[in-house]
Amino acid sequence: MNPSLQSELVLLPVAGVRLATAAAGIKKSANEDLLLIEIADHSQVAAVFTANRFAAAPVELCRQYLQEAKPRYLLINSGNANCGLGAAGLEAARICCESVASAAAVSLESVLPFSTGVIAEPLPAQKIVTAVPDLLKSLDSDQWVAGADAIRTTDTVAKGGSRVIDIDGVAVTITGICKGSGMIRPNMATMLAYIATDAAVADEVLQPLLNRAVGRSFNCISVDGDMSTNDACLLIATGKAGNPELGPEMAEPWRRFEQAVTELCTELAQLIVRDGEGATKFITIQVRGAAGDADARAVAEAVAHSPLVKTAFFASDANWGRILAAVGYAPIANLDINKVEIFLGDVCIVRNGARADEYEEAAGAAVMAQGDITLTIDLHSGDGRLDFWTCDLSYDYVRINAEYRT
């Protein structure tokens, strides 16, 4: 299931950000596999990374370097995760960063490395080093689509989006790209995402903004329930638009800016699910009436991660007992099953914890056969709620991952 309109992807330049791509020979194919992003001096940068304790070498270095300097360059390779290699992986990532820092005359710590691809294979650092001079010469503000393409692994399409909003009469641009198709689950899903805006944003509020946006988007998706070692999401604010510096004290402009960033993150997150490995169905899980938002998330994740639920959706099989079972084993403290309602689209399949009197198999099967499906679970226990997105699990998912290294 390819995301709609991605063949017509158009992304807007962001003042203060330039990009360049290259085919360094990291991937087995001859496709471009390297992206360099240059960030204007004095930009603000926020970042979120995987919660996996086997975090890849570039993630470790990013966390360290972000404490020591403002980023000026992001160096991203696809085709190799540089993970599970111990000190050798860290050294390879440093070598790559040093090559950019030396050529661009910036500090080592201002170059952040990112990798995605096969785990536990040595990173061919020299191939990246060799490509760096040409990357620096090729930097251009209008290379977002090429950048989205270069960071793909099993993705079938490049993924990105743009927004323009008005802030006190100033047009502010927000553009983002991401990659991800498999090994996707909450706590950052295998995904990389880079979002940039030319808005001026107060440094102290950018990280909390990104945390909230990620919590409602990239941390609300699952393809297969596997958490990556390499996930990263960066939000860059260059300040080049010339707007009054944004912060919560600006009330309405700040609300609209945060809404635009969150909407773009949500769009990118949903594109990842729509391009899930082997996916044929896009499923929105709406949990309502939970005792709290944490309970709503627990229920949504239990359903979204269930192989039995996902294979039923693939088969268009209205075997809704699998959904009921997943709700029942969700790790929440209190669940009154006699209050639970479940809907497939507009079709009520469960009311008061049992099969709805009016439910007919044909109606449920008709919804299951659709490409886009909404599953609503109402616990009638409080005000907690969450929207979560997942896909089905198909024969192709097994094939893609069985053949991944061959």
Enzyme catalytic residues: 190
User: Among 145, 404, 156, which residue's Cα sits nearest to residue 280?
Assistant: 156
**Neighbour-count burial of 353, counting CB atoms closer than 10 A to its CB (0-12 exposed, 13-18 middle, 19+ buried):** middle
Which pair of tokens denotes residue 178?
């991401």
User: Among 371, 161, 162, which residue's Cα sits nearest to residue 284?
Assistant: 371
Cα dist from 76 to 128, 326, 344, whole Å:
10, 38, 41
Instruction: Compute CA 333 distance to the chain's CA centroid, rounded to the nearest angstrom.
Output: 29
d(CA 36, CA 19) in angstroms, rounded, equals 6
CA triplet 272, 275, 276: central angle to 5 degrees? 85
Cα dist from 203 to 46, 71, 149, 188, whole Å:
9, 13, 30, 23
Residue 216 DSSP one-character state: T
Q: Are strands 34-39 and 73-80 parallel, antiparallel or unpaired?
A: antiparallel
Q: Is residue 115 a contact partner of residue 58, using CB atoms and an 8 Å limit?
A: yes
d(CA 228, CA 52) in angstroms, rounded, equals 7
Q: Are strands 282-290 and 372-378 parallel, antiparallel or unpaired?
A: parallel
Q: Is residue 37 a contact partner of residue 76, using CB atoms and an 8 Å limit?
A: yes
Residue 226 DSSP one-character state: P
d(CA 390, CA 272) in angstroms, rounded, equals 9
Q: Are strands 159-167 and 170-179 parallel, antiparallel or unpaired?
A: antiparallel
d(CA 131, CA 158) in angstroms, rounded, equals 22
- For residue 144, the SS3 value is helix
Which residue's structure tokens are 């970042």? 47
